[in-house]
Each structure stands twice: as structure tokens, then as C-alpha cells.
Amino acid sequence: MKFARIAGIDFKANKAFLLLALAYTLLGLGQEVILITTAVLAHEMAHTTVALALGVRISEVELLPFGGQAAVEDFTGLEPRKEIYIALAGPVLSFIMAGVFFYLIPFQGPLFSLFVNINLFLGLFNLLPVLPLDGGRILRALLSSPIGYRKATLTAAYMGKIAALLLGGLGVYLTSTTMSGANLIVIAVLLFWAAGREKKLLAYAFMRFLLNKKTQLGRHGFMESRQVAAVPETPVKKILDNSRPSTYLTVVIIGNDESVIGMRTEAELIECLLEKGPAACIKDC
């Protein structure tokens, strides 16, 4: 459910998030719901702010009980260094908020103590090296150079599913022994689902970027094209950095004898970058 639009970004709440909020409210924990929502929203706003500052376009953010998921509008803007900065922004803000409110506990009471714990959990949990958590995004950024962005995504998402199963097992054990693991079971289910969705989000970012151009081409019957010449050793990312939403990029590959030895389209370059990683050169495609 969409509840806000900030700086051109739609903020939505996942249905499970809303159901948990409703359940907590019916149990008389309305104040806790407000604190959790505030912490999660602040966490996601930190991600969004840093993304905008780095020139990465995000179309929407969906809130989940353990954080959120962002749909990246421009795949080419997401390089490993930027992804690490964006991923770290959320946990860093959560820890800062926990530290600030920790010093206010003596003056404000138990709700501030709860808010500290919520932010600590949010920061620490999101640093686990599994997708879709922030730690998983950092892991993907580190793996993308040696194995490629697509394989790095699948690896971190697979680890996310394993973590979800372990968390769910712990939740079942705690529920059967102390009746206190219901929250862990819910989070485990959502984590497993969200980890599986990472592959779809990767394809979504790639296809959305190209679909905008195909739409323009279909509407007008033609589209302005930018053609650049490059040698086989030119980094693919360097060329894609010059891509523009309103023009279609084609690359003419020039050999050592200055003859034309091939041509690649923008879609082929993006696919190559996904497969080979950020260090890919034209010759790798």
C-alpha cells in the first residue's frame, strides 16, 4: 500500500508489515508499532538520501518489518562502491539514533529504551551478509568484481534463504519451549520471500531501463541515437556512464588498424556488465 511520495519516490508498506502493525495494535501495543515504523522509515530514508546524493535513481521503497527494499530505476547507476555507501547508510543511521536516545533514557523512560533496542536490532540484523539485507548488498558489491553482478546477486540471495530457514527454525524452537518465537517465524518467512525476489528485482531494473527507450522508439517510430567509437580494451562501465534516457547508445568497436571489427548495443553492454562484473571490457562482450 502506497502511503507517501517523497522526492519522486513512492513509499509503500508491505501487506505483512501492515498485518503485523494491526496485530500489535489490537494487542495494545500501538506505541510500539509507531516506534517500529519510525525506525524503519528513518532507516530507509537514510538509504534513499545517500542514493539520491550519489545520482542513483530509485522509483519506490517498500517497507518490511526488518527494513525495506528499493526498486532501482537506473541499473547503470548502481556500481559496487555506490552500493556499499547506500547499504551502509541505513544501519549507520539506526546506530546513531540508538546512541542518541540511549543518553535520553534517564530523562524520558521505557519507551526511549525500547526505541534504542529497536534501532540496535534494525542496524545489527541488516548487517547480516545476506540479501535482501544491507549486509547482503555489501557482500554483493564485494563479489561483483570477481564473479559478476548477476552471480553475486544469486549467491547473496541464496544465503538469504538459508538464513531465513535457520531463523525460522529458531523461531519454531522458541515458540515450542517459551512461546516467544512468533516474531522470528514471521520475519523468517518475509526474509525467505524477499530473498527470492532479488533476482526479479535485478531483471526489473534492467528491463525498466530498456523499456523506457523501447516505449519511446515504438511511440515515434524512431529515436535519437548516440554512436561512440571504442577500442576492445575500453571498460564497459565507462561507456555506460555516458548512457542517457532519451537516446539509444550504440558502440562501434575499432581494431588496432582502425578498421571496424564489430558493434554492440546498449542492451548487450548491460547484459555483459551483469555477467562479467564491473571490470568488464568491450572485448569481454
CATH hierarchy code of domain 224-284: 3.10.580.10
3-state secondary structure at position 242: coil
Beta strands in the chain (DSSP E): 2-6, 9-13, 58-64, 67-72, 225-230, 248-254, 260-265
The pLDDT tens digits of the residues spanning 82-100 come to 889 999 999 999 999 998 8
**Average pLDDT of span 11-26:** 79
For residue 91, what pLDDT is reported? 94
Q: Would you say 229 and 254 are in contact if contact means Cβ atoms under 8 Å apart?
A: yes
Say how many residues make up the chain. 285
Q: Would you say 281 and 234 are in contact if contact means Cβ atoms under 8 Å apart?
A: yes
Which of 190 and 215 is assigned the larger pLDDT?
A: 190
Residue 255 has pLDDT above 80, yes or no: yes
Instruction: Give residue 183's identity as a one-letter amino acid code.
Output: N
Q: Catalytic amino acids?
A: 44
- Edge-first strand order for the sheet with 2-6 is 2-6, 9-13, 58-64, 67-72
Instruction: Give residue 42's identity as a one-letter amino acid code.
Output: A
For residue 193, what pLDDT is reported? 86
pTM: 0.76
At residue 238 the predicted structure's pLDDT band, cuts being 50, 70 and 90, is confident
Mean pLDDT, rounded, of the chain: 82
Residue 127 has pLDDT above 80, yes or no: yes
Parse the chain into domains and list their residue ranges. Answer: 2-213, 224-284
Residue 13 has pLDDT above 90, yes or no: no
For residue 103, what pLDDT is reported? 81
